[in-house]
Structure 1
Amino acid sequence: MKKALVALAIALGSTAALAEKPAVTVVLNAQSPMTQGMAMVLANQMQEQGAQVDILLCDHAGDLALKDAGGEALKPNNVTPAQLLDGALKKGATASVCALYLPNSGKKPEDLKDGIKPAKPADMGAALLEPNRKVIGF
């Protein structure tokens, strides 16, 4: 009986751990289209593999968050980093621009794509400190 209860507790703990999505923050500040593209490809892949992905766009990468974001289409799929960001957002990722982006780029909050807002440093700092969160920088 005792062994059965221990086995059940382990099984329930394993199920709970599997049910919880891994949390990942992708911090992107690179200006290079290939680096931006690879960051967004990996963000999409992590989502497809079950992670909750949060994207923080800083410096030139903040331009991906703009409604009129264009950019260079990258091979082999002929998509831009901005289109890859859009795909991640449609699948449930969150994205924000760093708190310094808008005041230093001359852009306004209404220039950002729907759902993308400036990050609040206190909230972002707390999220980055979460014990089970992975943080990946590009």
Structure 2
Amino acid sequence: MKDRFFASIALYSALIATGVQADAIDKALVIVNSGSVQTQGMAMVLANTMQAKGTQVDVLLCDQAGDLALKNTTSTPLKPKNVTPEQLMSKLQKGGATINVCALYLPNSEHAASDLRDGVGVAKPPAIADQMIDDHLRVFNF
């Protein structure tokens, strides 16, 4: 029993040393509410990177970040790749991510659901709450 315990510690230490996480994240909810284009861009870069590593990523856009979901929003491209947060968000969608605006976004703006980009929905609070309390999902806020 003692030998198995030390073998488990050795294996766990080896995994950490090689960068492999014992508890890999299977699902992530990225909540973006910042109006800063750089913050929005970095949130999308990190979400795309997580998705490329096999994590199921969903995005919730609230407050000023909700504008990313609008068809007519075009941000200034960010260096060094010269891409916009909207382009990065589109890449996430193509990879299977669900993109939603907060339930409060449309009723508290001058926009309607018809103003949203294709494939962007309106979040349902019970569904988002379920995600937030899911033991197998991590929530990231920007």
TM-score by length of 2: 0.81
Determine whether 1:105 maps to 2:88. no
Moved more, 103-112 or 35-44: 103-112
In structure 1, distance between residues paired with 2:118 and 2:133? 27
Determine whether 1:129 maps to 2:133. yes
Identity over the aligned pairs, expressed in percent? 51
Residue 36 of structure 1 aligns with which residue? Answer: 40
Local SS of the residue matching 1:101: coil
In structure 2, distance between residues paired with 1:64 and 1:125? 22
Q: Please show how residues 59-70 of structure 1 align to structure 2 within 5 Å.
A: 59-70=63-74
Moved over 3 A (4+): none
Counterpart residue identity of residue 87, structure 1:
K
- How far apart are residue 92 of structure 1 and its match? 0.8
Aligned residues: 120
- How far apart are residue 117 of structure 1 and its match? 1.0
- How far apart are residue 106 of structure 1 and its match? 1.1
In structure 2, distance between residues paired with 1:70 and 1:32? 13
Q: CA RMSD in A?
A: 1.5
Residue 93 of structure 1 aligns with which residue? Answer: 97
Aligned match for 1:72, one of 66, 69, 76: 76
Aligned match for 1:82, one of 86, 95, 99: 86
Local SS of the residue matching 1:88: helix
Q: Does structure 1 retain, via aligned residues, the 8 Å contact 2:25–2:137? A: no
- How far apart are residue 67 of structure 1 and its match? 1.3
Counterpart residue identity of residue 114, structure 1:
D
In structure 2, distance between residues paired with 1:124 and 1:51? 17
Counterpart residue identity of residue 46, structure 2:
L
Aligned match for 1:24, one of 23, 28, 40: 28
Which runs of 5 or more structure 1 residues have no equivalent in the other structure?
A: 1-19
Local SS of the residue matching 1:63: helix
Residue 54 of structure 2 aligns with which residue? Answer: 50
- How far apart are residue 21 of structure 1 and its match? 7.1
